[in-house]
Structure 1
Amino acid sequence: MWIIGGNTILRPLLNNNMVDHIIMQVAPVLLGTGIPLFTQKEELKRFRLESVKKYGQFAELVYEKG
């Protein structure tokens, strides 16, 4: 299943161990005070970096559950 979204969607999935991969795309833009992507504080979730790709000024990071 592929889910696009931020913390509102991601938090319950991470809390229930339903995430195997995280694909994060990063753009070099500072937005100031926004909504945090990760707010899980109850338990440490470990993912390992699988790959990094560069698309011009953008970066794509792929993490796998570790």
Structure 2
Amino acid sequence: MDIWLCGGGKLAQQLLSEIDKLIIKLNPVVIGNGISLFSGPFQVQQFRLASTKPFESGVMILQYDKRS
């Protein structure tokens, strides 16, 4: 069963070992401080870029798959 986790660096950090895909929305705007993708200490995980989807606004959707 799939879980879709949006935001929440503390929860993402706790679930990092279970995460097999990252979908990141990249906005071309600087707005200051934000929420860390993963908060606190964690084991380094490697992901590979699987796909990109650019939009006319400059927004990009980046999909990364966990490396085995």
Q: Do both share a fold (TM > 0.5)?
A: yes
Q: 1:25 to 1:32 in 2, by over 3 A?
A: same
Aligned to 1:62: 63
Find the aligned partners of 1:2 and 1:42 in 2 and give their Cα distance: 20
| Structure 2: runs of 5+ lacking an equivalent | none
Superposed CA RMSD in Å reads 1.6
1:8 to 2:10 alignment: yes
Q: 1:40 to 1:32 in 2, by over 3 A?
A: same
Q: Give the partner amino acid of 2:65.
A: E
Q: 1:42 to 1:3 in 2, by over 3 A?
A: closer
Q: Residue 12 of structure 1: CA displacement?
A: 0.6
Q: Residue 6 of structure 1: CA displacement?
A: 3.1
Q: Structure 1 segments of 4 or more deviating over 4 A?
A: none
Aligned to 2:24: 24
How many residues get paired? 64
Q: TM-score, normalised by structure 2?
A: 0.78
Q: 1:40 to 1:61 in 2, by over 3 A?
A: farther
Q: Give the partner amino acid of 2:61.
A: E
Residue 2 of structure 1 aligns to a residue in which SS? Answer: coil
Q: Residue 41 of structure 1: CA displacement?
A: 4.3
Pick which of 31-40 and 50-59 moved more: 31-40
Residue 9 of structure 1 aligns to a residue in which SS? Answer: helix
